[in-house]
Each structure stands twice: as C-alpha cells, then as structure tokens.
Amino acid sequence: MTEQLTASGARARFRVWWDHNRPLKAMRLCCSARTTCPIRVHWHVKANYREYWKVKITVTSFNYGMNYTQWTLVTQHPNFNNITRVYRFDYKPLDAFGSLNDTGMFYGIKYYNDLLMQAGPEGNVQSEMILRKDISSFTWDHGWAFPRKVYFNGDECMMPPPDKYPSLPSIAPSNRSLASALAFFLILELMPLIL
C-alpha cells in the first residue's frame, strides 16, 4: 500500500524534519544545567533574511533572594557595528577603539524593564535586535552568530566551548525519494493551471 502525498502531509513531514534538524538552535550562554548560576542569558537567532538577521536576547533571573535593579548586559560580537534596531532595551555601543565596534551595553528602559523583580521562568526581560549582514565577514560557521563574551552587572558569564555551538550542515540532505515525490506532487497540482 502506497502512501498518498498531499500538501498537508508534505507540510507535516517537513515540519517534523525541520524540528529535528533545525540548523540554528538557541543556546544558553551564561549557565549550564549543572551550575547554580543566578542569571541565564539566552541568545536566540530568530530569523535570517537576505540583508539582515534577527536575534532575541532573554535575561532570566533564578536568584530568589535578590532583585536586580538598573541591570546592565555587556556583550561582545563582531557584527555590533551593523546593529540596525534594538527593541525593548536601551543600547549603547562601547567603541573605545574608534571604528572597531564589537562591544555593546544593553540596559533596561526606566519604568519599563529596568527591574528584574521575579525569579524563575517568569522573571525575565527580553529584547530583539536586527543586524545588517556584512558580506565580507558574515558567516554561520563555528558559532560566529553567537557572542564572544557576555557580562551581566560586571560579572563574566560562562560561555560554552566553540565546538558546542550549533552550525548549518555543509551539504543538503540526500533524501531523493521525498524530493522526487514533492516534485511529482507539484507537477500534478500545477498541470491544470498550465493547460
């Protein structure tokens, strides 16, 4: 018995494959599960456009004994000279070396998110930023999309080793039967439109 390939079935199969093989997975940058770190900085590559890419930053407090008021997050990344827009955090470039801008300071907007009052998964502040791609240096290889160093309120966060960062596969998957079935399905669907 052969399985009939429908549009919804093809989408469902692709969704399962994508969830399992997603190339850009979020990384916890400040703490691993084995530590009792009071802060976790979550850097998530959200979108990849032709000329821009989007990152979401979440700072979560796990310190049940302390609130963080007027917190600061300092991050070093080679593409910070191409920041186009930052949402829900204030941003100040730390460009002490003139044209080299690879470090930036993020902090909460007063009376909006400058206070981390609650601990646990609900005790977080989030921001998104859009960065322009510099064709001469932009790559997804070797964790380039993730920051080099992260400091929260002056304390350096523990970073994973570079070989633990996610990366894109170097070649496309070789599932030719699925690709040919999808091509056949598209031809059958488009045939009435052509005729």
Decide: helix, strand or coil at residue 127.
strand
> What pLDDT was estimated at residue 86?
95
pLDDT in tens, 6-22: 555 656 665 665 555 54
pLDDT tier at 171, thresholds 50, 70, 90: low
pLDDT in tens, 47-78: 988 899 999 999 998 888 888 888 999 999 88
Tell whether the model's pLDDT for residue 35 goes beyond 70: no
Expressed in percent and rounded to 5, the helix, strand and coil fractions of the chain are: 20, 30, 45
pLDDT in tens, 129-158: 999 998 888 887 777 888 888 899 888 887
The DSSP code sequence of 83-105 is EEEEESSEEEE--TBTTB--EEE
